[in-house]
């Protein structure tokens, strides 16, 4: 099903409480990085990995671009780009991509998944980080008009009633206990999460920020 409108979703800010100040603290430098996408999957015993596409960091490179291309017969990435930097104490990271498609599930009776446009960005604050993603037209799954954080869509058809894949939209990953950092993905596709003939993860639009990352 096509979901034609581009939608932008802000994530709740992630904060951490500071301990009482007992001595002069050493200055810290916030960090951030972003990537237009990545893929690390094993399909029928063949391992396919891309690394982070068009990766930038707040310490440089400050921008990157990829023309995309096919990753074996697993997926096709379109043009992607990223930009990172700092404004005083604030680190900012963002990345976007276009015309992604994966046919890997079709060999197991599943749908072809495509995303026309997507992006992820984050920025640090004095005590934490905040993020935002946008997702354009999607085919192969039904996407709600308003996507809450960490919205999961299960694609059935795996062995013994398990899932072929789980698609997570507007995903936020934070450590436990929280330390103010976050990683956000516009789209995360997990293949056969309960086990099967394929495994691994595909990420579209990743941005990560940490206000206390560089001591």
**Does 55 map to a domain?**
yes
**Longest alpha-carbon distance in the chain:** 62
Domain count, the chain: 1
Question: Once rounded to an integer, what is the mean pLDDT over residues 128-147?
Answer: 94
Cα 92 versus chain centre, distance:
15
- Give residue 23's pLDDT band: very low, low, confident or very high (50, 70, 90): very low
For 173-195, the pLDDT digits (tens) are 999 998 999 999 999 999 999 99
**Does 63 map to a domain?**
yes
Closest to 95 in 3D by CA, of 69, 64, 140: 64
**Does 5 map to a domain?**
no
**Does 23 map to a domain?**
no
**Does 20 map to a domain?**
no
Range(s) of the domain holding residue 143: 31-214
d(CA 57, CA 65): 13
What is the model's pLDDT at position 215? 55
For 97-115, the pLDDT digits (tens) are 999 999 999 999 999 999 9
């Amino acid at each position: 099903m096509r979901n034609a409108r581009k939608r932008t979703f802000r994530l709740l800010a992630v904060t951490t409480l500071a301990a009482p100040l007992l001595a002069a603290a050493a200055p810290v430098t916030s960090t951030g990085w972003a990537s237009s996408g990545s893929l690390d999957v094993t399909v029928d015993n063949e391992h396919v990995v891309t690394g982070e596409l068009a990766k930038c960091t707040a310490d440089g490179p400050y921008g990157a671009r990829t023309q995309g291309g096919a990753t074996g017969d697993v997926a096709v990435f379109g043009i992607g780009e990223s930009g990172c930097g700092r404004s005083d104490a604030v680190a900012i990271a963002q990345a976007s991509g276009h015309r992604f498609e994966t046919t890997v599930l079709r060999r197991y009776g599943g749908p072809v998944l495509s995303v026309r446009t997507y992006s992820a960005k984050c920025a640090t604050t004095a005590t934490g980080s905040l993020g935002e993603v946008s997702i354009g037209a999607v085919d192969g799954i039904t996407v709600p008009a308003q996507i809450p954080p960490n919205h999961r869509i299960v694609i059935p058809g795996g062995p013994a009633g398990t899932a072929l894949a789980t698609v997570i939209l507007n995903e936020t990953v934070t450590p436990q206990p929280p330390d103010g950092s976050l990683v956000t993905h516009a789209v995360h596709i997990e293949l056969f999460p309960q086990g099967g003939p394929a495994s691994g993860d595909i990420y579209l639009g990743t941005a990560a920020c940490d206000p206390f990352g560089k001591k």
